[in-house]
Chains A and B, each alone.
Chain A
């Protein structure tokens, strides 16, 4: 179910940069905070992006442009015409195709020096730990609460840093969950009842806000890989695109958190549809066919 693809067979990590790569990454490599050493760190890094939609598109795109060596994508959806207002990895000719396929093609077209792993299936309690285990950093671009709690729990239980972003209407939220410094459950202990908080499909979303939030998520990934700057750990960035106000709130580790608190009760992944009170995921037939069978 997992397929790795590299545009030119380059092996991330080991070999010296080619003249083409040196030129390509020169604007990064001349910065003292990156340099050739940092660029190699980027090439040696692996990042999993959950969702190849509004947020996943700009995140994965900037990771690829920057030369992050291995990018994993998880998605099972099909490109719809209504996606093209914001999901920049997909184009008009991709309508009807699996997002994972058009996303991989776009990323490799932008930078053939990176490797793109595709996971053409929904991320579930059955496969999340296995998928996440293969990556250094996890990025959440999911579009529903069940997947958000699932990815949060799996990242924490795997000891991985999670770069989280969400959007709706003209608002965006971004933060970074590092194990031991709070998690999504600390921020929001319980999901809203189904139907109370609308989705982007129900309420709408400004296309460009996905670029703002996704670019910030990508920036936080780079900071984690390069170990530079002050990460959004313990801080929640709120973005209001209408006023262009950026405000910062504190995120604390909740000692009573069932996942990362002092006496945790969650030690393995649970049934997140049940937890969120949502119906089980319905996978489009085209996605099932593209994935080669029933989802895990």
Chain B
């Protein structure tokens, strides 16, 4: 089951500096195993030695936190999107995704 994986900047180094990659798996656990096989060290970024997801890393299936689905056992479907999102502590116009259908975007002319 091929899904699209989004990786937050802070853990992109372990996947070859990619923001997005394709991976296989019928569950979140299998997906992590597939990525780990190609990019050793990825699993440690998102899960502990027992395979439990770190509590400071959120994993989303599409827009839903997998903790409210089936955790690492959450089943994946063709075309799904999975995002790995660690907590950020840095203190240092939103256009919604246009998913088909008619959309109306007014021209914005204001500059001051």
Chain A residues proximal to chain B, CB less than 8 Å = 51, 53-56, 86-87, 140-145, 148, 165-171, 173, 187-192, 196-200, 203, 205, 210, 216, 237-238, 240, 242-243, 246-252, 254
Contact = CB atoms under 8 A, between A and B. Distances in A.
B101 interface: no
Interface size class of B (residues with CB under 8 A): 20 to 34
A248 B89 CA distance: 19
Given A188-B56, A249-B60, A166 B83 contact: no
Interface in B30-57: 54-56
Contact of A53 (B10, B56, B91, B97): B91
Contacts, number: 112
23 contacts: A51-B91, A142-B91, A143-B92, A166-B87, A166-B88, A166-B89, A168-B9, A170-B9, A171-B8, A171-B88, A187-B58, A187-B87, A188-B87, A197-B56, A197-B86, A197-B88, A198-B10, A203-B10, A242-B19, A246-B95, A247-B63, A249-B63, A249-B64
A54 B89 contact: no
Contacts of A246: 94-96
Contacts of B60: 249
A54 B91 contact: yes
B88 A173 contact: yes
B65 interface: yes
A203 B92 CA distance: 11
A27 B53 CA distance: 48
Interface of B: 6, 8-10, 19, 54-56, 58, 60, 63-65, 67-68, 83, 85-92, 94-97
B87 A143 contact: no
B27 to A, nearest CB: 20
Contacts of A190: 55-56
Contacts of B54: 192
User: A148, A173, A187, A249: which has the most chain B beta carbons within 10 Å?
Assistant: A249
Contacts of A51: 91
Contacts of B19: 240, 242-243
B94 A237 contact: yes
A145 B9 contact: no
A72 B68 CA distance: 37
- The list of the 9 closest CB pairs from A to B, nearest first, reads A54-B92, A143-B91, A190-B55, A169-B9, A166-B88, A192-B56, A200-B90, A200-B92, A168-B90
B68 A252 contact: yes
Given A191-B56, A198-B10, A167 B94 contact: no
B109 to A, nearest CB: 13
A199 B92 CA distance: 9
Nearest to A210: B92
Contacts of B85: 173, 238, 249
Contacts of A205: 90, 92
